[in-house]
Amino acid sequence: MARFALKIEYDGVPFSGWQRQNDVPSVQGAVEDALAKLEKRDHKIAAAGRTDAGVHALGQVAHCDMEKPWDPFRLSEALNYHLKPSPVAIVACVQVDDEWHARFSAVERRYLFRLVCRRAPLVLEAGKVWQVSQLLDGEAMQAGADRLLGRHDFTTFRSSICQANSPLRTLDELRVEQVARRDGALEFNFHVRARSFLHNQVRSFVGTLERVGVGAWTPDDVSAALEAKDRSKCGPVCPPQGLYLADVTYPNAPFA
């Protein structure tokens, strides 16, 4: 057996999420089905993170084990052929050591969340961003985001069905970037970076910060919510569209 690392891009709209489930489409299922076209057996791949329904990826990473001595480029080309017409693409493929693991070898994960302030419906980006009609205060949102940096008990900002053993996480970056758009609308990109995340943590952050941006919350309210360690004190959880798993970092940068 030879192990290969796959960097994967996908549109999460038509999928029930990353994880394979019975009777519903998943990204994992699409990739495993494509692998079965190349080597006719059951395949089980592991990923750096399990994205929810409707969440996209620019740089999801998974690994697979193959019996034949595949050239990495040929393997990626063959997978992309069999993945059609699903909106999933293998953008890089490298052979790695047998001990390398897409999830457990990762040392950092980066997410991007796109929020657009525009009253007119978004046609070309439907399902790819979170659209709100009101204008937001980017400086206030950044001030609120700064209250969340560092190591904390993030009970307030994790799903009630989160399966993580501990709510303690270290948030290394939560940066609010204002982006100029050709349509004249205001876009905010939330750049979020940590070693690992809790279930719905990023969407809980963005939904809460949107309340700060519209003036319903203050940065002090964000601090109070964090200190409460109480899920009911979280702001509204924003919808999945707009969330992207942007990148996963590993020692020795296998895709460099």
**pLDDT, tens only, 90-109:** 999 999 999 999 999 999 99
Average pLDDT over residues 6-31: 96
- On whether the CB atoms of residues 234 and 225 are closer than 8 A, the answer is yes
For 2-105, give the CATH class. alpha beta
| 137 labelled catalytic | no
Locate tokens 């020692």: which residue? 251
Candidate list 11, 33, 52, 172, residue with the active-site label: 52
The pLDDT score that the predictor gives to residue 165 is 94
- What does the pLDDT read at residue 22? 86
C-alpha 245/C-alpha 253 separation (Å) is 17
Identify the bridge partners of residue 52 per DSSP, sorted by sequence position: 17
Instruction: Give the model's pLDDT for residue 30.
Output: 98
Residue 183 reports pLDDT greater than 90: yes
pLDDT tens digits along 49-81:
999 999 999 999 999 999 999 999 999 999 999
pLDDT score, position 256: 85
Question: 3-class SS at 27?
Answer: helix
Q: Two tokens at 137?
A: 């205060």
Residue with tokens 């046609």: 123
Residue 145 has pLDDT above 90, yes or no: yes
Helix axis angle, 201-214 to 138-146, nearest 10°: 130
Q: What is the pLDDT of residues 187-208, one digit of tens each?
A: 999 999 999 999 999 999 999 9
Residue 113 has pLDDT above 90, yes or no: yes
pLDDT (0 to 100) of residue 146: 98
pLDDT, tens digit (0-9, with 9 covering 90-100), for 147-178: 999 999 999 999 999 999 999 999 999 999 99
For the chain, the domains span 2-105, 108-247
The CATH fold assigned to 108-247 is: Alpha-Beta Plaits (3.30.70)
Q: Is 245 helix (H, G, I), strand (E, B) or coil?
A: strand
Average per-residue pLDDT for the chain: 97
**What is the rounded average pLDDT of the residues 34-48?**
96
**Rounded CA separation 14/55 (Å):** 10
Overall pTM > 0.75: yes
pLDDT higher than threshold 90 for residue 234:
yes
pLDDT of res. 9: 98
